[in-house]
Amino acid sequence: MSISEQTNDLVSIRIDKKLDRISLETSKPCIFRVSARLRNENEKAYEPQIVAIGPYHRDKNNLQEIEDHKLLYLKLLLQRRKELRLNSYVMAMRDLEIKARKCYAETINLSIDDFVEMMILDGCFIIELLRKVRFKDLRNMNPDDPIFGRVQVGYSIIHDLMLFENQLPFFVLVVLFNMTKIQNARDNIISLALDFLGSSLPGPKVSETNGISADNVNHLLHLVHSSWCYSFAKKISSNRNHKWSLDEFIKSTTELRESGIKFKNAKESTSVLDIKFGNGVMEIPPLTIEDHTECVLRNLIAYEQYYHGNNVSVTYDNFCYGNVFHDVNKHCRRRWNIRLAKLRHNYFNSPWSTISFLAAAAVLLLTLAQTIISALSYWKPK
């Protein structure tokens, strides 16, 4: 064999090896690093406090303590199922390794074995955690579990599982969940996850599955986002008959009040996004702001920006509040409401202007009364 033929053969072998690693399946990453622009606003909002899930934060020193608990949860899981070996789990995760690796936007510098180990430990930890929250009898196997013994630890884990960078592909959780499924009608991964994580959202607690299919979920943050924004889908479908335009943005709250619009606390609403308007009254559900609220909202926004592109935009044909904006502006354009708004803006826009107006009105009324009295006394017969 000539040198040229040998060289070509080596090149061919090398290329063949690369082609073997390429899958014809098209997949888009769904787990990203948060951009510097968002991170610089509040870096702590995107950093895990106690537990690393997935590859992005796994080597940080302050997150190593919980790694022992992952092993403990896995051991307790195997004991409960009377299993001595992990072979079936390892083989299942090896089959998913390439697909799962592609879910991360960055190249993951982990060997196949390390990546498979990470999926098993992180996935089983999450699944057992979700089950222990609902099925309290499972905690009896480890009564000294610090996760349930200290409230702050539990809150920190909820915080960490809601981070955009701290996620496992949801299909990994589904496979492990089905392999370890307990015979209970309430053992549903969608329901368990929303029951645990839904309490961290502002407004009414999210726990309804709303028909969400596990096949359409990217990760836990996406699940919460889909459930929390479920009401948007209904609003968008109801707006199909109305073409919304940019000139229909509504005015500020102060200006709307001046136009006679009243605001009502919609306490019985099941979604914080369920804003309604009718008969001059705008009903808005209460929004509860707590220490973790900013973190949750920032990660949901980060997910939206990567999921739909670099910017969050409003389109003409699927703006969920299109009907609300249209009805509010229609109310404000009525003549009487326009006059009422001008009156309130010119004479009642501050306490002092209100006092001045009332004083002037009082003087006018007193003057009118004095004039009437004088006229009556002049025309009174002697």
Instruction: Name the least confident of 269-273, 306-310, 374-378.
Output: 306-310
Please give the average per-residue pLDDT across 357-376, as a whole number: 77
* Distance from the first to the final alpha carbon of the chain: 145
**Of 48 and 337, which is predicted with more confidence?**
48
Q: Which pair of structure tokens corresponds to residue 262? A: 């009243």
pLDDT digits (tens, 9 = 90+) for 23-61: 555 568 999 999 898 999 899 999 999 999 999 999 999
pLDDT digits (tens, 9 = 90+) for 121-174: 999 999 999 999 988 888 888 888 888 888 788 889 999 999 999 999 999 999
pLDDT digits (tens, 9 = 90+) for 195-221: 898 877 777 666 567 778 899 999 999
- Of all residues in the chain, the percent with pLDDT exceeding 70 is 79
* Per-chain mean pLDDT for the chain: 82
Closest to 353 in 3D by CA, of 260, 258, 259, 251? 258
Provide the 10 A C-beta neighbour count for residue 330.
Answer: 12
pLDDT digits (tens, 9 = 90+) for 224-263: 988 887 766 555 555 555 566 666 678 888 778 777 788 8
- Contacts from 60-64 at CB under 8 Å and sequence distance 24+? none
Q: Which pair of structure tokens corresponds to residue 76? A: 């307790």
Give the domain ranges of the chain.
27-231, 338-374
CA 124/CA 168 separation, integer angstroms: 11
Residue 157's contacts (CB-CB under 8 Å, 6 or more residues apart) are 50, 51, 129, 147
H/E element holding 278?
strand 276-278
H/E element holding 304?
helix 293-308
Angle between helix 189-197 and 220-228 (nearest 10): 80
Strand partners, 245: none
**Of 101 and 344, which is predicted with more confidence?**
101
Q: pTM to 2 decimals?
A: 0.76
Confidence (pLDDT) at 168:
97
User: Helix (H, G, I), strand (E, B), or coil: what is residue 264?
Assistant: strand
Residue type, 377: S
Residue 261's contacts (CB-CB under 8 Å, 6 or more residues apart) are 280, 281, 282, 328, 331, 332
Confidence (pLDDT) at 222:
93
CA 371/CA 356 separation, integer angstroms: 22
Most trustworthy range by pLDDT among 106-115, 150-159, 322-331: 106-115
CA 40/CA 36 separation, integer angstroms: 6
**Of 296 and 316, which is predicted with more confidence?**
296
User: Helix (H, G, I), strand (E, B), or coil: what is residue 265?
Assistant: strand
CA 319/CA 233 separation, integer angstroms: 10
